Amino acid sequence: MINSEFNLSMAETKKIAEPCVMVIFGATGDLTKRKLLPALYNLAKEDFLPHKFAIIGVGRQELTTQDFRQQVNDHLREFITDGPDEKLLKWFDERTYYTGGDFDDDRKLFGDLKDLMGQVTAEHQIPENYFYYLATPPDLFAKVTSKIVRHGLGKEENGNWRRFIYEKPFGRDLESAKRLNADLLKLVKERQIYRIDHYLGKETVQNILVFRFGNSIFEPIWNRNFIDHIQITVAEKLGVEQRGGYYDSAGALRDMVPNHILQLVTLTAMEPPVSFEADSVRDEQAKILQAIQPFSPADVLSRAVRGQYGEGVEDGRTVPAYRGEDKVAPQSNTETFAALKLCIDNWRWADIPFYVRTGKRMATKHSTIVIQFKRAPFVLFRDTSIEKLTTNRIVLHIQPDEGITLHFGAKIPGPIVNMGPVDMDFNYLDHFGDQVSTGYERLLFDCMIGDATLFQRADMVEASWRIVDSVLDVWRALPPRDFPDYAAGTWGPPDSDRMLEADGRTWKNLIEEPKTEECEKGEGGKVEKGKSGKVKK
């Protein structure tokens, strides 16, 4: 039985990862316990990990290997969704190690690490294939890499590979991303670098390419002749949780757009690659990023919207304003919502806008790509009221419910020819069963087999920051005057709706905003909803 699309796509590769040691920097952090360890467990469960495999955790905390093994065991029990399988937990226990200390301490930490790696490879008879996962803040990427290289653990030799996975954010603007790329490329080769974006590990994101290029009926209409516009929404219901410190210096635009959102844009817009080799796919993605024109200051005023959430009601309980969140400055002007109208200057997409938006504390958690087609050229059905005249729409649901919907018009039964909107739904769950996947399985596996297709290249990262920088520069020069400007639990600030209304369009919201009584903007960041659920100024 096929019990998950993850299993299906991975099984079809019929490969097992190569024997190797995974070294995780930031081994006691959240990412390791919530995503990386469960992903490794899922891979092992499906027999995708080699028997000759070991994990070395590296962190600031001084733990013994025994302490770390206990932590790994506890985290796996807490975060895996399928199990636990005691035999598998024991398997992990036998091949997990730890070394801790100050990341600046060249001799102690990295000397100890080198000794441990020697010991582990000898004990488990693993060839010296190493992959380093830097789940650390980006300011440590170059420093840690240089120390690894200095200790002779970064150079590929004797047929053994050395790979480096870098978590996002990769830089905080174009200049820092360029500097980071240049620093890393002085130390290792581009082919050794895997810049991770966990959106590319999501099945439905990978399915965009299969949907477009594995079927013959969609691609002929996937262009400016048939499509009116495209909307990409990555809406989150949660606020900033415990990440106020990081988020307040980043903001929604930096946090989500140069990476996740632009990846979705490129996969939706790219030309068919000549093959599914890493560079063929990434070449086409890079062309899209180059074709998105940076914003002029005037464009930013008309085609970019930012917002910040105020207090609001979610699931019947009051949630605090962003400015009241832990580790957030009480007068913070950081945006928690961003919407952009992107224009892709190429033959396929000229004059077809891509509206993208993302935000925290929105009405619901959902990520979708809406392909809105043009109206039929001639209205035959004169008796149908204008609001019932259907335009075709394909909705790619990325999360939480993964699937694809085709929206079209059908005749309403009865003696008069009248039309009404209907949906045809494909749901992943119904067809492939429940997924046991964190989204990181595919990416870790690909790194272990040396396939960089789903990882960002240096030029892609820089092209993305170039777009985002052009907006950030203007926003920095013109601080917002009306924050907070949307209530938690709504679809963002009214300016976001206005941006589309100016083009005669509206956002396709998955659920409507709750209707509340009209009320005034209150004190201390408290914002209340107007009739439509929007903030009343």
Which parts of this chain interact with ligand BG6 (CB under 6 A)? 168, 236, 255
Closest approach, Cβ 367 to ligand BG6, in A, equals 6
Closest approach, Cβ 138 to ligand BG6, in A, equals 12
CB atoms within 10 A of CB 406: 14
Judged by CB, which is closer to ligand BG6: 169, or 273? 169
Residue 336 tokens read as 């928690």
Q: Kindly give the pairing relationship between strand 312-314 and strand 309-310.
A: unpaired
Q: Residue 113 class from Cβ within 10 Å (0-12 exposed, 13-18 middle, 19+ buried)?
A: buried
What element of type H or E holds 299? helix 297-303
Which DSSP string corresponds to 220-236?
GGSSTTTEEEEEEEEE-
Whether the CB-CB separation of 26 and 32 falls below 8 Å is answered with yes
Whether the CB-CB separation of 318 and 310 falls below 8 Å is answered with no
Closest approach, Cβ 11 to ligand BG6, in A, equals 24
Nearest residue to ligand BG6 on Cβ basis: 255
Judged by CB, which is closer to ligand BG6: 163, or 168? 168
Judged by CB, which is closer to ligand BG6: 255, or 314? 255
Please report the sign of the dihedral spanned by the C-alpha atoms of residue 299, residue 300, residue 301, residue 306: positive
**Which residues 6+ apart lie within 8 Å of 122 measured at CB?**
none
Residue 85 tokens read as 């399988």
Closest approach, Cβ 168 to ligand BG6, in A, equals 6
Q: Which residue matches tokens 């993605």?
A: 285
Catalytic residue among 75, 198, 260, 366: 260
Residue 295 tokens read as 């914003």
Judged by CB, which is closer to ligand BG6: 95, or 168? 168
Judged by CB, which is closer to ligand BG6: 34, or 521? 34
Closest approach, Cβ 147 to ligand BG6, in A, equals 26
Q: Residue 32 class from Cβ within 10 Å (0-12 exposed, 13-18 middle, 19+ buried)?
A: buried
What element of type H or E holds 188? none
Q: Of 358, 363, 399, 369, give the one whose Cα is nearest residue 252.
A: 358
Closest approach, Cβ 256 to ligand BG6, in A, equals 6
Closest approach, Cβ 398 to ligand BG6, in A, equals 8
Judged by CB, which is closer to ligand BG6: 240, or 370? 240
Whether the CB-CB separation of 488 and 361 falls below 8 Å is answered with yes
Whether the CB-CB separation of 529 and 487 falls below 8 Å is answered with yes
Judged by CB, which is closer to ligand BG6: 236, or 248? 236
Whether the CB-CB separation of 148 and 132 falls below 8 Å is answered with yes
Judged by CB, which is closer to ligand BG6: 110, or 133? 133
Q: Is 260 a catalytic residue?
A: yes
What element of type H or E holds 18? none
**Which residues 6+ apart lie within 8 Å of 308 measured at CB?**
322, 323, 332, 333, 334, 335, 336, 337, 480, 483, 484, 485, 486
Residue 33 per-residue DSSP state: I
Q: Annotated active-site positions, please?
A: 260
